[in-house]
Structure 1
Amino acid sequence: MTTTAVFVFLSCLLAMEVQGQKFSKGRCICADKGVNVVLLKNIEKVEIIPPSPSCGKQEIIVNLKSTERKCLNPESKFTQNLIKRALEKM
């Protein structure tokens, strides 16, 4: 009886842990291609998100000093130069 009670208790704990996990819905952060150019002086942080199972395209997101986030077009010359500079700094 005690073994069964312990097993049921552990099963309930496991079920609660699985329910609490967040799973990606398979969506990209950037809905469209994004902007081609952003003023460099307004950029605070650059995020480069590689393709993944939840989103099949590379995404480049810049956090602006105005606390706004913008998606950049990965195919634009500006974005390619920005990525190159960011990788050189690393």
Structure 2
Amino acid sequence: MKIITAMVILGCLLVVEVKGQARSPKSRCFCANQGVNMVSPKLIEKVEIIPQSPSCKTQEIVVTLINSMGKKCLNPESKFTQKYIMKAVKKRSLHKK
């Protein structure tokens, strides 16, 4: 009986002492890499700007292409992307007035 009690106590101590390893959180970004620097504006159907979040530490700009050609990630740092976004913002602000 004493052996069984000792084994149970030992087992409980081992369970309490074992700790899980801390994992680094995996990012859940849509864009696997930095993205392309340019896409023909004629091919762009829709633009999505995805801000930084706890699951993805980078801002992402995703364009949907016409004729079911898929989606592409744009490099937020490229001059093309910055100019295209600024034009879209200006165009949208003119339509709201």
The amino acid of 1:78's aligned partner reads F
Corresponding residue pairs, total = 66
TM-score when normalising by structure 2: 0.63
Residue pair 2:27, 2:57 contacting (<8 A) in 1 also: no
1:70 to partner: Cα distance:
0.2
Larger Rg: 2
Distance 1:51 1:83 in 2: 17
Match of 1:44 in 2: 45
* Alpha-carbon distance, 1:64 to partner: 0.3
SS of match in other structure, 1:38: coil
TM-score by length of 1: 0.68
Out of 81, 84, 93, which is 1:82 matched to? 84
| Secondary structure class of the residue paired with 2:55 | coil
Task: Please report the RMSD computed on the Cα atoms of aligned residues, expressed in angstroms.
Answer: 1.3
Q: For structure 1, list consecutive stretches of 5 or more residues without a partner in the other structure.
A: 1-24
> Once the two structures are aligned, what percentage of the paired residues are identical?
61
Quote the residue 1:16 is aligned against.
none
Query: In structure 2, what residue type is equivalent to 1:57?
Result: T
Q: Which amino acid aligns with 1:48?
A: I
List alignment gaps of at least 5 residues for structure 2: 1-25
Structure-2 residue corresponding to 1:72? 74
